[in-house]
């Protein structure tokens, strides 16, 4: 049975869990320097990824680097079992370097955090050893393998009087993905969470093994093993609709948003989505039989959050500039598909959380939840300047269950039960 939770009130963590000062250790956190695989990115970058376990407690994690830069900003620890955050590493960082982080875990988010505040809270530096992780994500870029980025992460801005709220869905799977298989994997995660997976969740590609959902979706989406000198990324909407139409009376509502400015084919690989109210796989309009996806304009954070709150499953495509190994833009576009698990605000700053395999093509993949800030309607500053959400697909099984279960997740404020929105 699917379970999701919605917090409509301000989130406040229990005071018994916190003393402000916190020590980051190898038992509760890992700090990776991201190396980028593929033709665009290679070698060490100054992109870092901090993964924090819920064993640290629950609260808002903030941290300063050795130069006093606020590089971890109000990360809601306890939201997921292992939550990851993007950050910038100091120049000269290499695998095995020791990085000093002055960390604080508070019951409420902080509008500002600096050395003076840390001193007043009696925060003391922690030392983490930087490990090396080869990031393998992708994509419908034109490269022959995974895509990479090494642009600096942007920072968030907070309003002391801004709202803090959470919409979060639990129990989302994170299926192991092959090279450039992010879109089929995101859809496989979605269908499994919705209970529409009539086969298995084991890895696979190009139809093999036949009882692997992600392998079936490879074929339905037309992912090619040879045309781009390696496995190619694809847009997923056609394959998703074909799979759903092949089920026995699935009773599914599908919606989408698309930036409508992609030079290489938009969200569906069978037709143009610009200005189309409904989209049929391989058709581009509402004619024909079966499930159609309904257009809701260009991507917006508000749409994503409202769909999550209504019990919809949501996948998004992240578009970001490709760079070379020196961090210089190549002029190419890189992309990565993820499944959204949560959305909300922290002191007025929008955020989303997502799952995806960040080590595509590697046995085991990753099993973390990624946290990202959202600026304006769809910009993602943590992915570098110019990064944005350029497609959203949501779906739900109808009729939806009648009530929402609202639980605390270690938080004091718990919203009251509300009725599901009927589609």
Total number of domains constituting the chain: 2
In a domain, 367, yes or no: yes
Give the helix/strand (H/E) hosting 346.
strand 329-346
Contact 147, 370 (CB under 8 A): no
Residue 404 lies in a domain: no
Provide the CB-side half-sphere exposure for 249 (13 A, CA).
Answer: 1
**Terminal CA-CA length for the chain:** 19
pLDDT at 274: 46
Same structural domain, 201 and 276: yes
Judgement on whether residues 216 and 98 belong to the same structural domain of the protein: no
More confident residue, 6 or 48: 48
Q: What is the pTM of this model?
A: 0.87
Indicate whether 401 pLDDT > 50.
no
Is the confidence at residue 322, as pLDDT, over 50? yes
pLDDT score of 174 more than 50: yes
Residue 407 has pLDDT above 60, yes or no: no
Contact status, residue 60 vs residue 68, Cβ threshold 8 Å: no
How do beta strands 313-323 and 293-295 pair? unpaired
Question: Cα 171 vs. chain centroid, distance in angstroms?
Answer: 15
Same domain, 363 and 284: yes
Distance separating alpha carbons of residues 56 and 69, to the nearest angstrom = 22
Decide if 421 is inside a domain: no
Is residue 124 located within the same domain as residue 245?
A: no
Is 254 in the same domain as 382? yes
C-alpha distance from residue 73 to each of 88, 164, 202, 208, 312 (Å) = 12, 14, 36, 43, 28
pLDDT tens string 34-90: 877 655 555 667 788 999 999 999 999 999 999 999 999 999 999 999 999 998 888
Question: For residue 420, is pLDDT > 90?
Answer: no
If asked whether residues 174 and 223 sit together in one domain, one would say yes
For residue 219, what are the domain limits? 165-397
Is residue 119 domain-shared with residue 185, that is, in the same domain?
no
42 to each of 20, 60, 146, how far by Cα in Å? 38, 33, 11
Compute φ and ψ for 397, nearest 5 degrees: -90, 135
Residue 108: its pLDDT value, please? 92
The least confident of 156-160, 255-259, 344-348 is: 255-259
* 117 and 186 fall within a common domain: no
Contact present, 249 and 289 (Cβ < 8 Å) = no
Model confidence at 314, pLDDT cuts 50, 70, 90, reads very high
> Are 103 and 177 members of one domain?
no
Task: Give the Å distances, CA to CA, from 114 to 15, 71, 126, 279.
Answer: 22, 10, 16, 50
Mean pLDDT of 153-161: 87
């Amino acid at each position: 049975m699917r379970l999701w939770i919605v917090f409509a009130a301000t989130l406040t963590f229990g005071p018994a869990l916190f003393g402000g000062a916190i020590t980051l250790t190898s038992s509760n956190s890992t700090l990776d320097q991201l190396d980028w695989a593929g033709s665009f990115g290679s070698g060490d970058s100054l992109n870092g990824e901090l993964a924090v376990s819920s064993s640290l407690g629950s609260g808002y994690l903030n941290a300063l680097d050795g130069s006093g830069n606020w590089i971890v900003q109000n990360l809601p620890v306890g939201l997921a079992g292992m939550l990851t955050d993007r950050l910038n590493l100091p120049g000269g960082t290499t695998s095995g370097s020791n990085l000093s982080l002055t960390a604080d875990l508070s019951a409420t988010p902080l509008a500002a955090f600096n050395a003076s505040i840390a001193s007043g809270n009696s925060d003391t530096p922690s030392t983490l050893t930087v490990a090396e992780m080869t990031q393998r994500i992708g994509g419908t870029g034109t490269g022959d393998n995974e895509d990479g980025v090494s642009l600096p992460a942007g920072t968030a801005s907070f309003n002391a009087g801004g709202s803090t709220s959470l919409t979060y869905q639990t129990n989302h799977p994170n299926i192991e993905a092959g090279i450039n298989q992010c879109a089929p994997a995101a859809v496989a995660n979605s269908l499994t969470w919705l209970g529409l997976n009539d086969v298995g969740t084991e890895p696979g590609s190009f139809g093999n093994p036949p009882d692997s959902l992600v392998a079936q979706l490879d074929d339905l989406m037309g992912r090619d093993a040879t045309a781009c000198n390696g496995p190619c990324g694809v847009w997923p909407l056609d394959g998703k609709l074909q799979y759903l139409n092949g089920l026995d009376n699935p009773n599914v509502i599908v919606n989408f948003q698309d930036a409508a400015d992609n030079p290489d084919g938009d969200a569906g690989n069978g037709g143009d989505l610009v200005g189309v109210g409904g989209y049929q796989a391989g058709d581009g309009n509402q004619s024909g039989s079966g499930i159609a996806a309904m257009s809701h304009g260009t991507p917006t954070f508000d749409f994503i959050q409202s769909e999550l709150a209504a019990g919809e499953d949501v996948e998004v495509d992240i578009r970001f500039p490709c760079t070379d190994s020196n961090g210089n833009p190549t002029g190419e576009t890189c992309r990565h598909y993820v499944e959204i698990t949560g959305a909300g605000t922290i002191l007025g700053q929008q955020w989303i959380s997502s799952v995806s395999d960040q080590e595509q093509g590697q046995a085991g993949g990753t099993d973390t939840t990624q946290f990202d800030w959202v600026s304006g309607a769809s910009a993602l500053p943590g992915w570098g300047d110019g990064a944005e959400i350029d497609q959203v697909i949501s779906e739900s099984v109808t009729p939806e269950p009648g009530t929402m279960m609202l639980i605390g997740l270690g938080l004091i404020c718990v919203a009251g039960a509300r009725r599901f929105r009927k589609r």
